């Protein structure tokens, strides 16, 4: 066996001291520099071009309260149909029966007005629930009567209950 002496890069106690200090101080300054860089300027979120608008969109309330006049005149069924229902029922989207299509409306008309109104208010098939939107339930009922009567039904147009 040979008597080889193994030595490292540190030869004196002074070198050991400075390497120990540097191994602690350099990482601290690197971390401080990174924190300063990250927090120096507000950076937009991914894909956001307008930081203020993106922030407002993220903190916007989920719902809103609308104050409406309860004594306003009822909207006609044809107007409600044009504004709320025509998007699907004019083109027959997702199986919606078209306005005036007697064959498509026939099985639905046999269920009666109340069943049709319930389908509108609670949703059915691909049609989402319509209750609670821009129109009240009575106005949605008028739209149901408008569509059903266009297909041959003889439903009476719902009126406001007398006080």
Q: What is the pLDDT of residue 22?
A: 92
Question: pLDDT tens across 73-90, in order?
Answer: 777 777 877 777 877 887
Task: Give domain limits for the chain.
Answer: 11-40, 77-150
Dihedral sign, Cα of residue 111, residue 116, residue 117, residue 118: positive
Give the separation between CA 35 and CA 31, rounded to whole angstroms: 6
Q: What is the pLDDT of residue 103?
A: 83
Q: Answer whether residue 137 shows pLDDT above 70.
A: yes
Percentage of the chain beyond pLDDT 90 is 13
Q: What is the pLDDT of residue 17?
A: 92
Question: What's the Cα-to-Cα distance from 56 to each of 21, 43, 61, rounded to whole Å?
Answer: 48, 15, 10
Tokens 């939107």 belong to: 133
Tokens 């002496």 belong to: 5
CATH class held by domain 77-150: mainly alpha
**Average of per-residue pLDDT across 15-26:** 92
User: What b/e string do you get for 83-116 counting C-beta neighbours within 10 Å, with b at 16 or more?
Assistant: ebbeebbeeeeeebbbbeeeebbeebbeeebeeb
Percentage of the chain beyond pLDDT 70 is 90
């Amino acid at each position: 066996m040979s008597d080889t002496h193994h030595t490292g890069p540190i030869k004196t106690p002074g070198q050991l001291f400075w390497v120990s200090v540097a191994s602690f101080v350099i990482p601290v300054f690197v971390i401080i520099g990174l924190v300063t860089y990250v927090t120096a300027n507000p950076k937009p979120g991914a894909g956001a071009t307008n930081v203020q608008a993106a922030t407002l969109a993220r903190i916007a309330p989920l719902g809103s309260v609308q104050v409406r006049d309860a004594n306003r005149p009822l909207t006609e069924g044809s107007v409600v149909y044009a504004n709320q229902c025509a998007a699907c029922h004019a083109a027959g989207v997702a199986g919606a029966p078209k306005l005036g299509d007697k064959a498509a409306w026939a099985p639905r008309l046999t269920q009666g007005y109340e069943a049709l109104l319930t389908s509108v208010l609670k949703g059915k098939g691909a049609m989402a629930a319509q209750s609670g939107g821009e129109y009240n339930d009575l106005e949605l009922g008028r739209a149901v009567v408008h569509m059903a009567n266009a297909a041959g039904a003889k439903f009476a147009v719902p009126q406001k209950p007398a006080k």
